[in-house]
A = this chain, B = another copy of it.
Amino acid sequence: MSHRSIKERMLSAIRPTHGDPPPARWQQRKSAQTRQRLVDGGVQCLIQRGYAGLTTAAVAELCEVSRGAMHHHFATRLELVGAVIEHVLYQRMHRFLEDYFTALKRRGEELLVEIACESHWQSVQTNEYAAYLELTLAARTDVELAELFNPASRRYDQIWIGEMIEAFPQWKAHWDNLKLANDVTLALHMGMLLHRPVFGEGERMAQLQQVATRIVQSLYDAP
């Protein structure tokens, strides 16, 4: 299976399911466009001001949309949050796959482990991931959000795991190692990101990234 089709399949599995039929009418097109603007605005708020700052008023102002229109598209704050969650999860996967396959094509498959680790560390430092992180963190103390986000997050994980073997056929022999390497990378990179204010961005962080790569490599080489 080609890179392109793997990527497409993974993305379509996580794609937001709002207006699947392509909007034919003018009005619907404009509506969908406004809706998307609002979701993007929600993501922006999330990144810049955190989940607590993701407020209907702030989003409306940021998007230059009236509060009435806001309410028309998303009757309640949580409804907007739901759309933001879907969008963020989609964007996160999109961003990683984009980077990963581009780098893979450019640098060659023999550097697979190194490229995967680097791409993931890069993807963790994007705005898309910042939004995802913010939701993860807020869901720890906000039960309403948790009920909405955690199932979505687990579903993301399941899709990811399920498709990973397609993207990394080299690992087929030691499937458990791949899963473990994945989990280590996810956890370690999130921890590294959150420790940035303490660790800084210099040598200390570079060494950690080196360790991350070494672990994955050893799991790749091991039986």
Contacts and interface: CB of A to CB of B under 8 A. Distances in A.
A190 B183 contact: no
Interface of A is mostly: helix
Contacts of A211: 180, 184, 215
A48 B136 CA distance: 16
Given A187-B188, A191-B189, A207-B183, A197 B139 contact: yes
A137 B51 CA distance: 11
A144 to B, nearest CB: 12
Nearest to A48: B141
Interface residues of A, number: 40
B183 A208 contact: yes
Nearest to A214: B215
Interface in A137-190: 137-142, 146, 150, 153-154, 157, 179-180, 183-184, 186-190
A184 B134 CA distance: 22
A186 B52 CA distance: 26
A188 B186 contact: no
A141 B150 contact: no
Q: How many copies does the complex hold?
A: 2
A138 B215 contact: no
A59 B192 CA distance: 32
Contact of A50 (B140, B189, B197): B140
Contacts of A139: 197
A119 to B, nearest CB: 17
A59 to B, nearest CB: 15
Nearest to A176: B207
A92 to B, nearest CB: 13
13 contacts: A134-B141, A136-B197, A154-B197, A180-B207, A184-B188, A186-B195, A187-B195, A188-B188, A188-B191, A189-B191, A190-B191, A191-B192, A211-B215
